[in-house]
Amino acid sequence: MTATHPFDTLKSTLDPKAWSEDAGELAPHARDWRGRYSGSAPILFKPSSTEEVSRILAACNEAGVAVLPQSGNTGLVGGSTPQGEAVISLKRMTAIRALDTANESITVDAGVILETVQNAAKEAGKLFPLSLGAQGSAMIGGLISTNAGGVQVLRYGMMRDLVLGLAAVLPDGRVLSGLSGLRKNNTGYDLKQLFIGAEGTLGVVTGATLKLFPRPASSSVAVVSVQSPLEAVSLLDLVKSLTGGAVSGFELMPKVGLDLVYGHVPGARPPLEGGPEWCVLIELTSGEPGRAGPMMETALEAAFETGLVLDGVIAQTETQAAEFWALREAIPEGEKAHGKAVKHDVSVPVSKMGEFIVEATKKAEALVPHARVLAFGHVGDGNVHFNLQGREHGAGDDFLKAAEPATTLIYDLVDAYDGSISAEHGIGILKQAELKARKPVEVAVMRQIKAALDPNSIMNPRVLLGPER
């Protein structure tokens, strides 16, 4: 008598569209966006409802089969690449369930792509502010599970701040159903927060109610040059104090990053003459029509007078503003085309950001002389992507190995600055050892929570916490 495989019964009870064992269909689900991780999965589940997710999880839990939830597969820390786990893809759960303009909320399935949510909000005259380079592919379930950040955190917060309600399936198949748009709900532990940033280790997020905001009536985008990251931080302080909370984006763009964009992205043009070493993209928004532009002019005049800004250009049209943003968003693309890089997504208090970048760059380039630092990104919220890349085009795995010691140096410095080794990308596989070494008590508490919710450890067992030893 042949033993039945745990998937056989499950497959026979599911809609045939809800699973696949086809190698061609599985392949893109088994490698990551950066080309750094690849693996395999015995099966791809493609549920179309929370109820189907519940049945799949209950059966896998019963059989002790490990699963890996996957949304857009744009994660950058190896957390969405299977190594033998069954993949549960949310790609067929794409409904926008409700949009409530008076409550300023939208309820969506976990497989809805971020850009689709932004567009739905826009059509309703509202704003969903989460915005990041992967917004054409990243999905709400993944964005919640990694507590994604992006370029508007300064004004609107991270995903954790944008979720009003959540639906999640526990490993044993029970459904936590909290898709309410309540802004006040004091009924004990805020369970939804457990799943935000959990990287799929506690259950599968199947839907969410998200906060919407009024659309700004005016906005202004500028690119300015500054002497160094130290002046960038002082500039942020000045612009904030002159604009009364209107800063919605403040992004550091170094010459080394922009040059990669001009070299690799067709049509990209330098906004300022002379290729300054450090640029900052500033975005101001206002609820008042015609207000953001004059605010930007006043702030930049003051910044020129104090010598904080060396040169600058204010976008004259929406197209030009979009071009400036496109330069910023294309830095990871340019970086990828240049070669492999040792990446660090770190945060320190905003006030210490400039000092941190200067000190870390000096020390990292001294430690790995054939590497150069590319430090860019969300300096307005104390988050910098601090990456080491080859000085020449085409660095590969040898470079990654040689530059590896810089990671400990950078993380030690992050600790010294009271920062975090993961600002917005999460832990995944990439940062697991560092997390365990640096946060033993936190890791132990997280393990206790996981043991309570996922006693058979079927949910993403290699990710975030990983095996006990």
Ligand X SMILES: Cc1cc2nc3c(=O)[nH]c(=O)nc-3n(C[C@H](O)[C@H](O)[C@H](O)COP(=O)(O)OP(=O)(O)OC[C@H]3O[C@@H](n4cnc5c(N)ncnc54)[C@H](O)[C@@H]3O)c2cc1C
Contacts of 341 (CB under 8 A, 6+ apart): 335, 374, 387, 388, 389, 390, 395
Q: Candidates 141-149, 185-193, 243-251, 363-371: pick the segment binding ligand X (CB under 6 A).
A: 141-149
Of 56, 65, 112, 205, the one binding ligand X by CB under 6 A? 205
Here the tokens at position 411 are 């993380």
Farthest CA pair distance, the chain: 85
Of 6, 39, 42, 133, the one binding ligand X by CB under 6 A? 133
312 is a site residue for ligand X (CB under 6 A): no
332 is a site residue for ligand X (CB under 6 A): yes
Of 70, 218, 286, 389, the one binding ligand X by CB under 6 A? 70
Chain residues 269-298 in contact with ligand X, contact rule CB under 6 A:
none
Of 41, 44, 68, 99, the one binding ligand X by CB under 6 A? 68
Q: Which residue is nearest to ligand X (CB)?
A: 142
157 is a site residue for ligand X (CB under 6 A): no
Burial of 43 (0-12, 13-18, 19+ CB in 10 A): buried
State the nearest-atom distance from the C-beta of 407 to ligand X, in Å.
19
State the nearest-atom distance from the C-beta of 384 to ligand X, in Å.
12
Instruction: Give CA angle at 315 (309, 317), nearest 5°.
Output: 170
The site that binds ligand X (CB under 6 A) totals a number of residues, namely 36
State the nearest-atom distance from the C-beta of 251 to ligand X, in Å.
10
CA-CA distance, 124 to 140, in Å (whole number)? 19
146 is a site residue for ligand X (CB under 6 A): yes
Contacts of 213 (CB under 8 A, 6+ apart): 104, 126, 127, 128, 129, 156
Which has the closest alpha carbon to 113: 89, 82, 135? 135
Q: At what angle do helices 318-329 and 331-338 cross, to 10 degrees?
A: 40
CA-CA distance, 72 to 93, in Å (whole number)? 12
380 is a site residue for ligand X (CB under 6 A): no
Q: Which is nearer to ligand X, 126 or 385 (CB)?
A: 385
Contacts of 338 (CB under 8 A, 6+ apart): 260, 263, 264, 389, 390, 393, 394, 395
State the nearest-atom distance from the C-beta of 200 to ligand X, in Å.
3
Chain residues 411-440 in contact with ligand X, contact rule CB under 6 A:
424-425
**Overall residue count recorded for the chain in this entry:** 469
Here the tokens at position 387 are 């990456």
Instruction: Decide if 105 contacts 127 (C-beta within 8 A).
Output: no
207 is a site residue for ligand X (CB under 6 A): no
Of 82, 149, 354, 461, the one binding ligand X by CB under 6 A? 149
Of 76, 235, 357, 384, the one binding ligand X by CB under 6 A? 76
463 is a site residue for ligand X (CB under 6 A): yes
The residues binding ligand X (CB under 6 A) are 33, 68-76, 79-80, 90, 110, 132-134, 138-139, 141-143, 145-146, 148-150, 199-200, 204-205, 332, 424-425, 460, 463
